[in-house]
Amino acid sequence: MTLARRFVLPLAASLAALSLSACGQSAKEEEKATASAAPEAKPGISVADGVFMLPAVSGNPGAAYFALDNESNNTVSIASIAIAGAGKTEIHQTMGGQMKPVDRVDVEAKTVVKFERGGLHVMAFEVDGSLKAGDTAEMTITFTDGDKVSAPLKLEAMGAGAMDHGSGH
């Protein structure tokens, strides 16, 4: 399996854009004219292994992981990710033990990008207390072109490792 990851760091990107294209003001036209089409899955895009680790303590953030497979012939760019039951989400990248927000995740043609522990992840805030381990919550990924894809996340208790089947909170 080819596993390519390319992260766009928004600050660096916009600084580069500023310095490179002083005259390129209209380069960022949005495609509102074609506010189009059905919220159907993008062709060739699939999501697997969705998991949402619920916060152990109410009020803390949770984290979601999944793998996005782009079998299409084009790069797709994730702009945002929403999770039913989470008031707010951010895409984070863990680097050197610290998490940094990521504005956009590019997934090149014929590659898989994994959101996983210690790497890219979705940080979920304001998690609804009614979400329970064992259930599922719907995740909706929005791409920069406005297309969306939804997939279920399996809800798991944070720290649900081999050792904590005695402590039921």
Residues that bind Cu ion (CB under 5 A): 92, 99, 123
Beta carbon of residue 116, minimum distance to Cu ion (angstroms, whole number): 12
Measured CA angle at 114 (ends 131, 133), to 5 deg: 15
Of 89 and 111, the one with the shorter C-beta distance to Cu ion is 89
Beta carbon of residue 64, minimum distance to Cu ion (angstroms, whole number): 10
Beta carbon of residue 94, minimum distance to Cu ion (angstroms, whole number): 7
Report the residue closest to Cu ion, judged by CB: 92
Of 96 and 134, the one with the shorter C-beta distance to Cu ion is 96
Of 56 and 123, the one with the shorter C-beta distance to Cu ion is 123
Q: How is 72-114 classified by DSSP, letter by letter?
A: SSS-EEEEEEEETTEEEEEEEEEETTEEEE-SEEEE-TTEEEE
Of 70 and 121, the one with the shorter C-beta distance to Cu ion is 121
The DSSP bridge partners found for residue 112 are 69
Beta carbon of residue 119, minimum distance to Cu ion (angstroms, whole number): 10
Tell me how long the chain is: 169
In sequence order, the 6+-apart residues with CB closer than 8 A to the CB of 106 are 6, 7, 8, 75, 76, 77, 78
